[in-house]
Structure 1
């Protein structure tokens, strides 16, 4: 049963500037307000104005419970007794000029977007405004308050760089280059944060971004963590010659795991003449192969021994051994010993690997070329591009909330608000 609307009126003057009346319905609320300051003096000639009439300004406000709320502000208009100019009382404390959403509504929408991970559609429904009105106003407020903060780049000494797919299309994926601030992770002061996002993925894109930064900021960068893409390494070497490039453990292990997966697929095709299917020995152990030896159960050990007993799978067994050696080196608690063991593994697979192990030979060429970057992670503990991948996962979740993005500028702004480590400047609610 639908309840009757209720209307309440204040009986006396409102010295505190709060609502002077409210009208509640099951699906909406309206608060009537008035401007406390008279504002009767002409700013043009200084003469006193006389009241002329009253107009009402409607503003979307933060929801009252589940109800979208509208502020009805009674604004008095004055006419100057000297020059005849007409003006209204100042309402900028409630909302910016010509805005449709109050400052409280903007704060609520920004908190919902950044803290509660709401979609723009959900925020617009809570404010009872159109999607475009909510999107434009809240992103403008977020840009002003968070993204345009001049101190956002201060104190950065360690960065990570990676590519990220921001949109899937029939003509191919569209990429951006993401730059991550890894300084809090390295100093154990907090999580990593998204520093910036640039369209494209190439050496030129990253180089232009670095060149646009102030020289003082460039001089403060000590470490650049990256994957195996040589374009990022070259750009960092040219623009940040004093920074140490690090190919972090996450990407080294992923490269080795890819080599193992490619070897398994090749041997599968050579033995069966087709892709793996349920019941095929190599297909059944595809996930077990990528598990560290120290984490295997007895059942998984037995399954691997059964697969490796077949001489047709000897190349998979050899590649699996290299993969386990790499994991063992990174899991060694003694960094000096782990570095020595990893250096020995790289030298071993670079020197005498049978021609049949195509994937291992390719991996060895990459690791030998980037040996200094790979081994550098032992000299600078806590430097990893793993947090970069974690932020990429958060951005994937953001795309799911929004059901995809078409506008790159919109996506970059939303991503910076989502993963930039920012929090709105929360104010006590009135």
Structure 2
């Protein structure tokens, strides 16, 4: 069997056949010839005549211990639509110096390990891996991801200290990240809304978020008809912080009565924060004791448990009245942290009720943020927002890179 025939069967390069093979000490160079006489312009136009040509090399997947290179006299063509352009070849993406199989392998490995390990395994540079990820994500990210969104979630994440943030927008229907913007202010979310057409903005019926004033302001400005939903997790976080303030104030004022060590203080604080149904016997006894000893702590703990029941109401129509009564009792309690919490819940009243009626929370985005932290830690940090953004899209944007060996 001829060497060229053997390599044709081994490599199966789409749209080309092997003309010549040169095997060196470390490299194998395979010269290709195109099967088609027509040249493909990136715009889709097919042209018969070439403008000029130049030899180009593409790195392919390794062959045993040898690096494999594909060599081809790539041509420029005179397109009636675009002018003079370089032809497209089926084994490589436009402008790339690596084959699709090589790049797909890089993408698949990058979703599972750090870039240094990918570079070591494939015998290329760390910068090459980064460039492949950035370029292919820009190409593969489909604008159609913004075409059918009607319920979205918004949150920010700190990817580098001090105060380096990204605004993450996720789709509740698909569970994927649909857009990422630098920063966490009004401008960040406004930039995303400005990318959408009028029809796309009109299709969005609900936006879940935390209590961010910036996100609320941008949404009310750009999506006046959308329903804003405040995440139950953040509402209970506000409540637990108010409970912590009541507990800390009581400990400071009546330190002699409680006589707790620092370890006992932390255990008591944790027990007060824990839901009543999840308390074991020891923690349950601790909560009973501390709430009986101090009126303010007992009131704050019972108010916290009553607010938790708001998000378990089986008939959402009863939620407005329930929350209104809770706010009234908190405001009349005479306990400063509860009074401040009542004012805050009054300000976010509609968003909390919308959450209960629609059954939407920001759990999806919180889960995405946890995965982003894993991506950032796996890469030992990222030197720029662009690098991290590409990795987020690659892992969480629904791109699903596949190994070329899987058919």
From the superposition, tell whether residues 296 and 125 of structure 1 become closer, same or farther in structure 2 (CA, over 3 Å): same
Is 1:135 aligned to residue 138 of structure 2?
A: no
**1:322-381 Cα shifts (integer Å, max 9, x gaps):** 11111122123343445543332123223x121xx2211111001011111111112212
Shift of 1:219: 0.4
Q: What corresponds to 1:353 in structure 2?
A: 333
Q: 1:262, 1:359 within 8 Å by CA — same for their partners in 2?
A: yes
**1:266-292 Cα shifts (integer Å, max 9, x gaps):** 33333449xx98556432222211111
Q: 1:60, 1:129 within 8 Å by CA — same for their partners in 2?
A: no
Q: 1:194, 1:420 within 8 Å by CA — same for their partners in 2?
A: yes
Aligned pair partner of 1:368 in 346, 350, 353: 346
Distance 2:345 2:58 in 1: 64
Q: What corresponds to 2:234 in structure 1?
A: 251
Structure 1 stretches lacking a partner, 5+ long? 1-8, 50-54, 79-89, 185-189
Is 1:154 aligned to residue 147 of structure 2?
A: yes
Shift of 1:207: 2.6
Other structure's SS at 1:133 match: helix
Q: 1:17, 1:34 within 8 Å by CA — same for their partners in 2?
A: no
Q: What corresponds to 1:417 in structure 2?
A: 394
Q: TM-score, normalised by structure 1?
A: 0.76
Distance 1:41 1:343 in 2: 73
From the superposition, tell whether residues 376 and 44 of structure 1 become closer, same or farther in structure 2 (CA, over 3 Å): closer
Is 1:104 aligned to residue 104 of structure 2?
A: no
Q: 2:146, 2:196 within 8 Å by CA — same for their partners in 1?
A: no
Other structure's SS at 1:422 match: coil
Aligned pair partner of 1:319 in 295, 300, 303: 300
Q: What corresponds to 1:332 in structure 2?
A: 313
From the superposition, tell whether residues 22 and 255 of structure 1 become closer, same or farther in structure 2 (CA, over 3 Å): farther
**1:238-265 Cα shifts (integer Å, max 9, x gaps):** 1111111111212211111121223323
Q: What corresponds to 2:81 in structure 1?
A: none
Shift of 1:120: 1.7
**1:164-215 Cα shifts (integer Å, max 9, x gaps):** 11211xxx32222222212x1xxxxx5x222212122222332333233211
Higher relative contact order (CA 8 A, sep 6+): 2
Which structure is higher in helix share? 2
Other structure's SS at 1:141 match: helix
* Equivalent pairs, count: 378
Q: What corresponds to 2:160 in structure 1?
A: 167
From the superposition, tell whether residues 34 and 272 of structure 1 become closer, same or farther in structure 2 (CA, over 3 Å): same
From the superposition, tell whether residues 91 and 143 of structure 1 become closer, same or farther in structure 2 (CA, over 3 Å): closer
Aligned pair partner of 1:180 in 170, 177, 182: 170
From the superposition, tell whether residues 11 and 165 of structure 1 become closer, same or farther in structure 2 (CA, over 3 Å): closer
Structural mapping, 1:3-42, within 5 Å: 13-14=5-6, 16-19=8-11, 33-35=30-32, 37=34
Is 1:342 aligned to residue 332 of structure 2?
A: no
From the superposition, tell whether residues 319 and 217 of structure 1 become closer, same or farther in structure 2 (CA, over 3 Å): same
Shift of 1:397: 0.7
Q: What corresponds to 2:355 in structure 1?
A: 377
Shift of 1:155: 1.1
Q: What is the aligned-residue RMSD (CA, Å)?
A: 3.6
Q: 2:292, 2:298 within 8 Å by CA — same for their partners in 1?
A: no
Q: 2:319, 2:353 within 8 Å by CA — same for their partners in 1?
A: no
Structure 2 stretches lacking a partner, 5+ long? 12-17, 40-46, 76-86
From the superposition, tell whether residues 306 and 165 of structure 1 become closer, same or farther in structure 2 (CA, over 3 Å): same
Shift of 1:37: 4.0
Q: 1:336, 1:378 within 8 Å by CA — same for their partners in 2?
A: no
Distance 2:255 2:308 in 1: 30
Q: 1:210, 1:239 within 8 Å by CA — same for their partners in 2?
A: yes
Q: What corresponds to 2:373 in structure 1?
A: 396
Is 1:144 aligned to residue 122 of structure 2?
A: no
Other structure's SS at 1:388 match: helix
